[in-house]
């Protein structure tokens, strides 16, 4: 193991850690996630409640990738996003299609009138249950898929053994209770843990810098000795492995 060369490689990956939208193509051939093996399909869950004439809102759309994959009529589609690089991307992308877009980070005060939407969706983003209830029409539906509190914890502990959970309490039971307390009736709920594997330590470096809220304080310099141990694991076993934590809810007003 050429330690000096590895360090230069990892530091280069650290410097390359940038992302626009939510696109992990840069490490696509160096890691694998079982996100597609969840026991539910988010698009199918949404489509059970979505009609072609519905007014749809996507909160925290990222770069709009998932929203556009639904093929909902542009004139009936609205989206919000708060991360500045994604805001710029969305303004350009959605303006071309005539999709209404709002830069937004105040989830408790959304810029919409009461009962504006028939369906609201949210994939791995934030929201305020009471405000969702306000802007949905009676009978409207909210569908969300969330990243749970145990997400990537094995990987985090490999690098930062004392790191605390960034979102303690983020689990199906708590989120379902919060929606019910806001007045919703939960129609569907699912929760699952699946594998995530890294075949290259440099890909994990890039990933840890991108997911900074989980790998708080990570740097190659700080975690170098632990990266060396992970490199040994990958060379011996072929990969370093953790788990993803996901849950999904559909709730009706």
Average pLDDT of span 210-236: 96
Check the CA dihedral 190-180-186-108 and report its sign. negative
Supply the range of the domain harboring residue 127: 3-252
CA distance 8 to 221: 11
Q: Are the CB atoms for 120 and 129 separated by under 8 Å? A: no
pLDDT of residue 101: 98
Above 80 in pLDDT, residue 22? no
Reported pTM: 0.92
pLDDT, one tens digit per residue, over 50-101 is 999 999 999 999 999 999 999 999 999 999 999 888 999 999 999 999 999 9
- Contacts of 167-172 spanning 24+ positions with Cβ under 8 A: 170/146, 171/247, 172/148, 172/247, 172/249
Tokens, residue 22: 């939510």
Q: Tell me the β-bridge partners of 244.
A: 194
Output the six-digit token pair for 107.
């989830």
The whole-angstrom separation of Cα 4 and Cα 228 is 11
CATH code of the domain containing 231: 3.40.50.150
The pLDDT value given to residue 18: 83
Instruction: Give the pLDDT score at 21.
Output: 65
CA distance 93 to 70: 15
Give how many domains the chain has, as a whole number.
Answer: 1
The pLDDT value recorded for residue 1 is 63
């Amino acid at each position: 193991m050429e330690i000096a060369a590895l360090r230069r490689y990892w530091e280069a990956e650290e410097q390359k850690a940038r992302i626009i939208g939510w696109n992990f193509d840069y490490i696509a051939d160096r890691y694998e996630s079982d996100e597609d093996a969840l026991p539910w399909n988010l698009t199918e869950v949404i489509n059970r409640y979505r009609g072609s004439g519905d007014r749809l809102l996507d909160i925290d759309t990222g770069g709009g990738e998932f929203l556009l994959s639904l093929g909902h009529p542009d004139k009936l589609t609205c989206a919000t996003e708060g991360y500045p690089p994604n805001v710029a991307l969305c303004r350009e992308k959605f303006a071309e299609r005539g999709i209404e877009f709002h830069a937004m980070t105040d989830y408790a005060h959304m810029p919409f009138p009461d009962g504006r939407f028939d369906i609201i969706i949210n994939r791995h983003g934030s929201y305020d249950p009471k405000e969702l209830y306000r802007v949905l029409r009676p009978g409207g539906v909210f569908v969300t898929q969330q990243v749970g509190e145990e997400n990537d914890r094995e990987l985090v502990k490999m690098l930062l053994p004392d790191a605390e959970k960034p979102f303690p309490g983020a689990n199906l039971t708590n989120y379902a209770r919060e929606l019910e307390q806001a007045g919703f009736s939960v129609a569907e709920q699912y929760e699952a843990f699946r594998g995530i594997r890294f075949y290259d330590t440099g890909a994990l470096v890039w990933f840890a810098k991108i997911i900074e809220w989980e790998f708080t304080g990570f740097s190659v310099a700080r975690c170098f000795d632990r990266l060396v141990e992970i490199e040994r694991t990958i060379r011996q076993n072929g990969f370093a492995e953790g788990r993803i934590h996901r849950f999904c809810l559909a709730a009706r007003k």
